Amino acid sequence: MASELVERYFRKETLPNIWCPGCSNGIVTAAIVRAIDNLGLDQNNVCIVSGIGCSARASGYLDFNTLHTTHGRAIAFATGIKFANPELTVIVITGDGDNAAIGGNHFIHACRRNIDLTVVMYNNHIYGMTGGQYSPTTPRFDRATTAPYGNIDRYFDICKLAIGAGATYVARGTAYHVHQLTKLIERGISHKGFSFIEALSICPTYYGRKNKKGTPADMLKWLKDHAVDIKQGSKMDPEEFHDKFIIGELLNIDEPEFVEEYQKMLNNLKVNYK
Amino acid sequence: MMPTVLMQGNEAVVEGAIAAGLKFYAGYPITPSTEIAELCAEKLPFVGGKFIQMEDEIASMAAVIGASLTGLKAMTATSGPGFSLKQENIGFAAMAEIPCVIVDVQRMGPSTGMPTSPAQGDVMQSRWGTHGDHPIIVLSPSSVKEAYYITIQAFNLSEKYRTPVILLMDEVIGHLREAVNLDEYKDVEIFERPMPQDKENYLPYQYIENGVAPLAPFGKGFRFHVTGLAHNEKGLPTNDPKVTEKLIKRLIGKIENNKKDIVMFEEKDTEGGDILLISFGSSARACEAAMQELKKEGIKVGLFKPITIWPFPDEKLREIYPRFKKVFVVEMNTGQLYYEVDRIIKGNTYVGKINKFNGEFLTPFDIVEKIKESF
């Protein structure tokens, strides 16, 4: 299966990828590709847009219409693409630094517009490409090259931000729970409106080593042991939950979608343009 | 016959853009460019186009590039502070060779400056605003009518050379209202983006000396990669110094070596005389009025008006300037185009500056006074 996916959806000349041994970016990228394959989407009709960072390099490896943009701006480029050609399925690949820090403004406004994009944020809690600086999702008191005495910043829950800003599909998965992650991405792509999927992932090289998190396998196991499915999560008492996080579909609602609303406006103006 | 109408400069930009085939506008409000966004919002639905007001200037530039990648002719407009914010993605468009038009209606800077008094302080920024060696085309109209025509040319050049083109307006031309008849432009050639044929072997960044490969729109079966990283002919990232050097040389060369096709200028009374004025945009209009005054005083003055600011029409200037005793560069800044003129003339003739940078419009009187002082 894996080799079939690689054969069909990857640009083989670009492989092997630049990601470190033990990095989970490949797992998350494979989940995106599997989701596209499961949905039977026409490869020529899929557009992958990414920003800057480790995760963003995925676009170059994938055999679709691919756009590797500037730092934090992927969603803004993707908005132009989707609005200009609504026929395209537009998927944004981004990271915690790319999306939660420098790209935060584009992210919240795309949520608000509810434009039909699917954003997958690889959250490895660190700036990997630049060598391990703390990001908006580095846990408090964890270390990074720019937080040698521990990170004093508070953790940014991007799923909550997405819900608050108006996204209509919000989910969290992990690089350990691959099948679930694939399903969440599938549902996000199928959802009409702005879909956000946070994929908790691991960076053994920078985040893991700096914080003595063990081997890549240990770090994946940590994701397994601390993830609580949303169905169980509501039943847990806060004490039991304190070091856990919820995975699954956090929000799935229908609201007016931007591109369709523009078309409606044109219809009201009685102009017949696509 | 089209009727003669009263039109504002910013409005002429929108009309020219629509005539050129504008189908996508993304922008952010900023004076003195806002009329361009407002008119696009109003008019684009009726020509099959789309308008979106983005969350900021950076996003506007990004959305324009995204739309262009789907095959639509796309534009954004801004002014100084917004132009600064757009530089990041202007560089992306230059590197990834995505056609787009950026209108900068200049206002007094630096920073927030004097909103929104006239200035021409973005001459150098329009050339070098984004980092790294990169190609760019910058055009500057000096009348409402010219704003219409030059906007069409901005789109044509952008599509032909796969490059961002900057329409360097200034507040005076942007807000000026003039009676115009656009009839003479009704048959102006509109350059349409060529469609590549071979999907199997498509090279979006094929090495074509002094040229560009056709850009396929996303979604038409050409699956290719676009990146701001140094890339090979397929568009895939590379760290190969040879491939990178070849890419940068081609990027620079496609503009530099096609200057004959790209540059536009106007000259007036350049057969020879005492003074050659070099100016652009609204300052060139002041020069024209000053020339009439100076003529009465028996001073022979010529005017060289580059419409293409970058690349600068250096060959033409080299031909003209030796016919004059002195050269003056007239602009609403502390002397920016002056540097380029000085570089071309290389001390062979005296090059002086006539500037204004206090938020007031440079008047014919300012020019006449300075010229007289020089005698």
The answer to whether the CB of B74 falls within 8 A of the CB of B22 is yes
CB-based contact B46 A65, cutoff 8 Å: no
Of A43, A84, A266, the CB nearest to B45: A266
Q: Does residue A17 sit within a domain?
A: no
Let me know the angle formed at the C-alpha of B86 by B84 and B89, rounded to the nearest 5 degrees.
Answer: 135
Question: CA dihedral defined by B204, B208, B210, B216, rounded to 10 degrees?
Answer: -20
pLDDT > 80? residue A2: no
CB-based contact A77 B65, cutoff 8 Å: yes
CB-based contact A73 B56, cutoff 8 Å: no
Q: Does residue A213 sit within a domain?
A: yes
- B69 close contact with A: CB closer than 8 A: yes
| B chain contacts of residue A11, beta-carbon cutoff 8 Å | 225, 236
Q: Does residue A9 sit within a domain?
A: no
Among A160, A123, A149, which Cα is nearest to A138's? A123
- B199 close contact with A: CB closer than 8 A: no
Length of chain A: 274
Q: Does residue A171 sit within a domain?
A: yes
- B50 close contact with A: CB closer than 8 A: yes
Q: Does residue A1 sit within a domain?
A: no
- B195 close contact with A: CB closer than 8 A: no
- A151 close contact with B: CB closer than 8 A: no
Closest residue of chain A to B90, computed from CA coordinates: A70
Of A73, A87, A108, the CB nearest to B219: A87
| B chain contacts of residue A56, beta-carbon cutoff 8 Å | none
- A127 close contact with B: CB closer than 8 A: no
- A265 close contact with B: CB closer than 8 A: yes
pLDDT > 50? residue A258: yes
* Whole-number pLDDT of residue B188: 97
Q: Does residue A131 sit within a domain?
A: yes
Distance from the Cα of A144 to chain B's closest Cα (Å) equals 27
Task: Report d(CA B260, CA B273) in Å as an integer.
Answer: 26
- B92 close contact with A: CB closer than 8 A: yes
- A152 close contact with B: CB closer than 8 A: no
Give the number of A-B residue pairs with CB atoms closer than 8 Å.
139
Of B59, B70, B236, the CB nearest to A14: B236
CB-based contact A80 B228, cutoff 8 Å: no
**Please, which pLDDT band fits residue A237 given cuts at 50, 70 and 90?**
confident
Alpha helices of B131-192 — where are they, by DSSP H? 144-161, 171-175
Q: What residues form DSSP beta bridges with A174?
A: A200
CB-based contact B46 A271, cutoff 8 Å: yes
| B chain contacts of residue A88, beta-carbon cutoff 8 Å | 70, 218-219
Q: What string of pLDDT tens digits covers the 375 residues of chain B?
A: 789 999 999 999 999 999 999 999 999 999 999 999 999 999 999 999 999 999 999 999 999 999 999 999 999 999 999 999 999 999 999 999 999 999 999 999 999 999 989 999 999 999 999 999 999 999 999 999 999 999 999 999 999 999 999 999 999 999 999 999 999 999 999 999 999 999 999 999 999 988 999 999 999 999 999 999 999 999 999 999 999 999 999 999 999 999 999 999 999 999 999 999 999 999 999 999 999 999 999 999 999 999 999 999 999 999 999 999 999 999 999 999 999 999 999 999 999 999 999 999 999 999 999 999 988
* Whole-number pLDDT of residue B280: 98
Q: Poorest-confidence range of A99-113, A227-241, A243-257, B46-60? A: A227-241
CB-based contact A69 B62, cutoff 8 Å: yes
Q: What percent of chain A has pLDDT over 90?
A: 92
Domain that holds residue A114: 22-272
Could you write out the three-class secondary structure of chain B? CCCCEEEEHHHHHHHHHHHHCEEEEEECCCCCCHHHHHHHHHHHHHHCCEEEECCCHHHHHHHHHHHHHCCCEEEEEECHHHHHHHHHHHHHHHHHCCCEEEEEEECECCCCCECCCCCCCCHHHHHHCCCCCCCCEEECCCCHHHHHHHHHHHHHHHHHHCCEEEEEEEHHHHHCEEEECCHHHCCCCCCCCCCCCCCCCCCCCCCCCCCCCCCCCCCCCCCCEEECCCECCCCCECCCHHHHHHHHHHHHHHHHCCHHHHCCEEEECCCCEEEEEEECHHHHHHHHHHHHHHHHCCCCEEEEEECEEECCCHHHHHHHHHHEEEEEEEECCCCCHHHHHHHHHCCCCEEEEEECCCCCCCCHHHHHHHHHHCC
Q: Does residue A97 sit within a domain?
A: yes
Task: Report d(CA A57, CA A53) in Å as an integer.
Answer: 7
ipTM over 0.85: yes
- A264 close contact with B: CB closer than 8 A: no
The answer to whether the CB of A65 falls within 8 A of the CB of B224 is yes
Q: Does residue A65 sit within a domain?
A: yes
**Please, which pLDDT band fits residue A1 given cuts at 50, 70 and 90?**
low
CB-based contact A83 B236, cutoff 8 Å: no
| B chain contacts of residue A65, beta-carbon cutoff 8 Å | 218-219, 223-224
- A268 close contact with B: CB closer than 8 A: no
User: Which residue type, as a one-letter code, is found at position A254?
Assistant: D
Task: Report d(CA A153, CA A137) in Å as an integer.
Answer: 9
Number of structural domains chain A divides into: 1
CB-based contact A105 B56, cutoff 8 Å: yes
* Whole-number pLDDT of residue A272: 58
| B chain contacts of residue A80, beta-carbon cutoff 8 Å | 24, 26, 52, 62-70, 74
**Structure-token pair, residue B78:** 């801004």
* Whole-number pLDDT of residue A173: 98
- B227 close contact with A: CB closer than 8 A: yes
Distance from the Cα of B296 to chain A's closest Cα (Å) equals 55
At A62, which CATH number?
A: 3.40.50.970
pLDDT > 60? residue A274: no
